Amino acid sequence: MLALARTDLACYALAHHPSFELPPFLDLVIRKLEAVKRGEIKRLILSMSPRHGKSLIASTYFPSMYLGTFPDRYVIGASYGQDLADDFGRRVRNTVASPLHRAILPESKIADDSAAAHRFNLTVGGAYFAVGRELQSLAAALT
């Protein structure tokens, strides 16, 4: 399963959250997110009712896997408010810092001097930024 989790978002999510169920609509979400990872889709908007797993897949496991696959790139996790963005940032940071993530995608390691929930850097040069919708937050995160 760990070998599959290296390239397959569904397997990656299930490795981290074994009790998570993947109904057909989340399979579609996963296929679209994997197309984003491959560069086939440049912009993607996901709109679903709450409590269907969209945030867990799209805001936690996808950014974690993306940073694991491309540890030299940047990810901005944006939300309607800074508190929620920080919650997602904390989940992404904790996932990337987990021994399981390191076993699956060992190239991504959080820099020792950078582990805040709203912003952390990887040793290879990539980074994650968690920003609320306020433009000042976005400008501050990018500086």
pLDDT per residue over 73-110, tens digit each?
999 999 889 899 999 999 999 999 999 999 999 999 99
Task: Read off φ and ψ for residue 115, nearest 5 degrees.
Answer: -140, 25
Prediction pTM value: 0.88
Nearest to 90 by CA among 117, 61, 120: 117
For range 27-51, the mean pLDDT: 92
- CA-closest candidate to residue 89, choices 60, 67, 52, 69: 60
The CATH number assigned to the domain holding 16 equals 3.40.50.300
- In the chain, the number of structural domains is 1
Greater confidence (138 vs 71) lies with 71
What burial class does residue 85 get, using C-beta atoms within 10 Å of its C-beta: 0-12 exposed, 13-18 middle, 19+ buried?
Answer: buried
Show the domain range for 127: 2-141
60: tokens are 């936690």
Distance CA 92, CA 125 (A): 17
